[in-house]
Amino acid sequence: MIEVYTANTPNGIKVPIALEELGLEYRLITVNLAAGEQNRPAFIAINPNGRIPAIVDHQGPDGQRLSLFESGAILLYLAEKAGGLLPRDPLERQRAMEYLFLQVASVGPMFGQAGWFLRSTPMPCAVAIERFRGEALRLTGVLEARLRQQPWLAGSEYSVADVMNFSWLRMAHYGGVELARFPAVAAWVATISERPAVQRALARMQ
Ligand SMILES: N[C@@H](CCC(=O)N[C@@H](CS)C(=O)NCC(=O)O)C(=O)O
């Protein structure tokens, strides 16, 4: 059984979606971010970085207990464990890695900062909004160009790269990005939203 420490946020839904897609059993443990549970010693022992998501797999490599944080690392671990969500074709596999890391390094941080400066800061800052929303728009354009050429980010196969980026792009408005300007991304979000595994994961996260 895999324990999933998470919350209903863009980063938090990735792991339940991947687990549902891969058909792995899991137990959800909701971390109350508003109450600061991510900074409590019991959680820091699982994720020293104090962020969700994190997992504990009691049947990890060689049957050992594994605790793991960072959503990209978790999704790659789960994909390899279950043998899914990663293309077998070597070129597409590298594309999947590429777009997974683009999400971790750029899409998540830029959308996250854009949303925070647009909605959560007590002191609005036009320069910060322009910078981060501008980057969120630019990155959505990168995904748009890719999805105009291929049905999925890796190419012909749905993969961890789609799960990672979908989790943020379905909330694009949070970062001040309207998907009406990006029809290929909007259609890809709608298609992924209809997948039964995605709907099961989102229902469990309510
Ligand atoms: N790069 C990390 C980002 C994790 C992250 O920022 N999680 C947010 C929720 S979406 C969090 O735990 N925030 C709590 C806080 O800021 O104290 C990942 O992909 O796992």
pLDDT for 1 beyond 90: no
Round to whole Å and give the CA distance between 7 and 29: 8
pLDDT for 167 beyond 90: yes
Round to whole Å and give the CA distance between 128 and 103: 20
Q: In this structure, are 113 and 151 located in the same domain?
A: yes
pLDDT for 139 beyond 90: yes
Write down the pLDDT at residue 43.
97
Round to whole Å and give the CA distance between 170 and 82: 26
Q: In this structure, are 96 and 180 located in the same domain?
A: yes
Eight-class DSSP state of 66: E
Asked if residue 155 has its Cβ within 6 Å of ligand 1, the reply is no
pLDDT for 206 beyond 90: no
Mean pLDDT calculated for residue range 165-175: 98
Q: In this structure, are 45 and 128 located in the same domain?
A: no
Asked if residue 9 has its Cβ within 6 Å of ligand 1, the reply is yes
Q: In this structure, are 120 and 179 located in the same domain?
A: yes
Write down the pLDDT at residue 179.
98
- Output 108 or 1, whichever has higher pLDDT: 108
pLDDT digits (tens, 9 = 90+) for 40-75: 999 999 999 999 999 999 999 999 999 999 999 999
- Output 206 or 5, whichever has higher pLDDT: 5
At 36, which CATH number? 3.40.30.10
Asked if residue 33 has its Cβ within 6 Å of ligand 1, the reply is yes
Of all protein residues, the one whose alpha carbon is nearest to atom 16 of ligand 1 is 51
Q: In this structure, are 56 and 117 located in the same domain?
A: no
| Domain coverage including residue 7 | 2-85+198-205
Q: In this structure, are 118 and 71 located in the same domain?
A: no
- Residue 158 identity (one-letter amino acid): Y
Q: In this structure, are 10 and 65 located in the same domain?
A: yes
Of all protein residues, the one whose alpha carbon is nearest to atom 10 of ligand 1 is 11
Where does the pLDDT of residue 122 fall: very low under 50, low under 70, confident under 90, or very high at 90 and above? confident
At 132, which CATH number? 1.20.1050.10
Asked if residue 12 has its Cβ within 6 Å of ligand 1, the reply is yes
Q: In this structure, are 119 and 182 located in the same domain?
A: yes
Q: In this structure, are 53 and 118 located in the same domain?
A: no
Give how many domains the chain has, as a whole number. Answer: 2
Burial class (CB in 10 A: 0-12, 13-18, 19+), 110: buried
For CA atoms 136, 111, 76, 18, the dihedral sign is negative
Q: In this structure, are 121 and 188 located in the same domain?
A: yes
